Amino acid sequence: MKQILTLLIVFFVLFSCKNENNTSENSDKLTQKEQKTDPSFGIVIHGGAGTILKKNMSDSLEKAYKAKLKKAITVGHTILKNGGTAMEAVTKTINVMENSPLFNAGKGAVFTHEETNELDASVMDGATLNAGAVAGVTHIKNPIDLALSVMNNSPHVLLSGKGAERFAEEQGIKLVDPSYFYTEKRFQSLQRIKDREKAELDHDSKVSFTDPFIKDSKFGTVGCAALDKNGNLAAGTSTGGMTNKRWNRIGDAPIIGAGTYANNATCAVSSTGWGEYFIRAMVAHDISAMMEYKGVTLQEAAEEVIQKKVPELGGDGGIIAIDKDGNVSMEFNTAGMYRAHMNANGDLKIGIYGE
């Protein structure tokens, strides 16, 4: 009898343990499933802002811009959809635009007064607040890749000129001959601006930076902001700067907090516009700070900065941004801004003009 009772007790204990283990395993599986259910992710890009008017755009060129914007954002969205990081999505998306002559970054970089190309770029990781940037590089095919390497493989945030290119060589990043960046369209734009300036000076009048033709020479940048399935944000910006710039001028694109900012607590932002004003207003960080300290939404913060603060200083331009919940802002105070957005469902929105 005692033996039977003992066997029953042992059986009961084993059965209870097995059920407890199964319950624990099922709970773990459920938790994992819940974590993967309804992932919120998204991506948003820009290709520069300025006096972009429908009447000045041919149908074929408009189609070309829209096709390239779609190609770029689809690359990043696919990465996010497959579980990739926000930073990978940002850099690979920007690569597509850097490799296109349509945008003022990489291949399509504008010319300086000395008829050279000087490129800037930056990235920021919202999870760690780590960042990397380069300025005034002349041999780097994809400056955004070098900015990423500065963030990941150096103790610094911002490297410039020849030093940045020596670092690139040490990192195995391919350098290109400066002739790679030559495009006839950008070169002729420089000549027209020089001619306009010369005409102004010949009439003993000061060059007017409010002249729409000269003013728009300051615009043209590409950028991306993304939220991945793990809830991490990242942003990146790449540019050739302003046409006819002198004295190794550096704009807002490589300045963390001005041209680029990302913080998992708030949002990720990339700017495009008149860099001097975006630096003075610290545009990208200001949007994040307003969300963090005032508790306003991303859109409310973006409108306040782009529609009020920057114009009051005398500058213009725009931003693209995504917050920690996947909400997006594409705010600009110019006639147009090349832009696109894709959400977790794959819905695509592309815009050029101020509609």
The token duo for 315 is: 């500058």
- Identify any residues that bridge with 63 across adjacent strands, giving them in sequence order: none
Spatial distance between the Cα atoms of 209 and 80, rounded to a whole number of angstroms? 41
251 and 111 Cβ atoms separated by less than 8 Å: no
With beta carbons less than 8 A apart as the criterion, state whether 269 and 296 touch: no
- Name the burial class of residue 144, with classes exposed (0-12), middle (13-18) and buried (19+) by CB atoms within 10 angstroms of its CB: buried
Sequence-distant (≥ 6) Cβ neighbours of residue 311 within 8 angstroms: 333
CA angle 223, 229, 231 (to 5 degrees): 75
Whose CA is closest to 286, among 304, 311, 273? 304
Known catalytic residues are 221
Look at residue 106 and give its three-state secondary structure. helix
